[in-house]
Structure 1
Amino acid sequence: MTTLRPFTAADLPACLEMFDSNCPAYFAPSERADYEAFLSDPADHGTYFVLEQGGEVVACGGVWQGGNLPEDIGGLSWGMVRGDLHGQGIGTALVTLRLAWIRERWPSVREVQIETSQRTEGYYARQGFRVLGRTPDGFAPGLDEIKMVLKLAPGTGQP
């Protein structure tokens, strides 16, 4: 059974191990300090979740709304699947559950943004996101920053 639940401080070691399992392919090692700082107070940046299968944390990722942007803009943050579990549909479940959470709790959101890399750009494109812009080496040398967006249909919360 797959369960999405809020992150707690007890999840910190599992999330840091998950980050490490995705370095350097998906995250630059230099980003670990930023991620650890984020996890020290994820509520300051929206809501952060872990995805469990059989009581084991297998993925994690966050959602945010507004901030310095209009209330109709939300986003996904720091999403990742444990490195040895890629290709099993866990990432798709994580994206689907977070988008459903946004639709249910923040019905005013009409646009969901994400900052990802060229290594996952195609994955998010298959989920309906389109590229807004790219910054070569934006995260680290060899790891471009790709800004993507998913438009939600007015009144439905659906893409």
Structure 2
Amino acid sequence: MDLRPYQITDREGCLAVFDSNAPEWNTGEREAFEAFLSNPPGPYFVLEHDGAVAGCGGFAFENPGLASLCWIMVRDGLHRNGLGRLLVFSAMRKMTQEGDPEMARLNTSPRSAGFFEKQGFHVLEINGDNVEMRKKMKVCP
């Protein structure tokens, strides 16, 4: 496994990862992900295995104290192997190297919320198929 920065040549591989999880996503989300891949708002990474994209994910700062995890996903068939955890913790490590966020947030589906709870995120709000979650990045002020 190789974790490296996203390049535009990874676009189709990332879309294939998205499509492998497609039953989980609503129809408008693929278009949103395509737009995101054209111009990621922050660092985005690709997890590569045997020359193919196995997963992808990244983050963006919303303001100095708040960072958002962005489009963290692993190709269906490779779930439950620690790859999602690797993506989450690599993104969080990088965000603390590049800034000083007090809080990390993300939006996910009800199907994936349990995974993120295991990574220390807490549900803030559920609105239909969208679950907003947050995690404190600092224990002490």
Interval containing the TM-score (normalised by the shorter chain): over 0.9
**RMSD, matched Cα:** 1.6
Gaps of 5+ in 2: none
Aligned equivalent of 1:23 = 22
Aligned equivalent of 2:32 = 34
How far has the Cα of 1:152 moved from its partner? 1.3
Q: Distance in 1 between matches of 2:66 and 2:34?
A: 25
TM-score, length-normalised on structure 1? 0.82
How far has the Cα of 1:134 moved from its partner? 1.1
Aligned equivalent of 2:61 = 65
Question: In structure 2, do the counterparts of structure 1 residues 37 and 92 end up closer, same or farther at CA, with 3 Å as the change threshold?
Answer: same
For residues 96-115 of structure 1, the aligned pairs below 5 Å read 96-106=89-99, 108-115=100-107
Aligned equivalent of 2:68 = 75
Aligned-partner SS, 1:114: strand
Q: Distance in 1 between matches of 2:68 and 2:131?
A: 14
Aligned equivalent of 2:138 = 153
| Post-superposition CA distance 1:89-133 (Å, at most 9, x none) | 111111111111112221x21100000111011111111001111
Aligned-partner SS, 1:85: coil
Aligned equivalent of 1:135 = 127
How far has the Cα of 1:47 moved from its partner? 1.6
For residues 44-59 of structure 1, the aligned pairs below 5 Å read 45-59=41-55
Q: Distance in 2 between matches of 1:153 and 1:17?
A: 35
2:6 and 2:44 in contact (8 A); partners too? yes
TM-score, length-normalised on structure 2? 0.92
Q: Which amino acid aligns with 2:101?
A: V
How far has the Cα of 1:54 moved from its partner? 4.1
Question: In structure 2, do the counterparts of structure 1 residues 13 and 123 end up closer, same or farther at CA, with 3 Å as the change threshold?
Answer: same
Gaps of 5+ in 1: 137-143
Aligned residues: 141
Q: Distance in 2 between matches of 1:54 and 1:99?
A: 25
Find out whether 1:117 has 2:109 as its counterpart: yes
Q: Distance in 2 between matches of 1:82 and 1:74?
A: 24
Q: Which amino acid aligns with 1:41?
A: N
Q: Distance in 2 between matches of 1:4 and 1:155?
A: 30
